[in-house]
Amino acid sequence: MSKTHPVNALKKLGIGLAFGAATIMSMPTSALACTQAYMGKNLTADGNTYYGRSEDYGPRYLKHFGIEPSHGPGHTYSSDESSFMYTSTKTTYRYTYVRDHPSQWDNRWDAYSEAGINEKGVSCSATLSTSMNADAETADPLTNTGIGEYNYASVILGESATAREGVELLGSLIDEQLVRKLFDRGLLCHICFLS
């Protein structure tokens, strides 16, 4: 009767545990729902940048990967989820995207650029904001003209050279909608700008 060397037994156990862990990690889990992982080149042993995203919207929800080209000034971002419109005043940045398949959004190819990186290295993961409970919606209802999940990643990636620029742009678009909402509700009569 032959005996297995203790080192070989440990190797087999280690391989079995690694295979089991990989199998468990590959199973869908709601804990990783709509989550982005980004590892910059200074954090990886090989100097590459790694990027990934999970989504919990539905099983086998069709996605496609692509590269949005740069557009000249006057490029307009629009939405199917609202009447949001934003026109660029400068040449936009080129960026990668993962989008919902057009067959699910009136055959529009610009729907939900939920993850991407632009040519300046700005990364964005989106589609985490338009779902809320009834209390939140009562206190702050969505507007029919506001920027939403449908295209805020496209606007940020196309327009922002830094993460700070992206945050400031998104904030200014939200502020503009807040002012419009207050005006529409009769809570704001006029706006004065002081220099």
What is the set of active-site residues? 34
Task: Give the long-range contacts of residues 65-69, CB within 8 A, separation 24 or more.
Answer: 65/96, 65/97, 65/98, 66/96, 66/97, 66/99, 67/94, 67/95, 67/96, 67/97, 68/94, 68/95, 68/96, 68/97, 68/113, 68/116, 68/154, 68/157, 68/158, 69/94
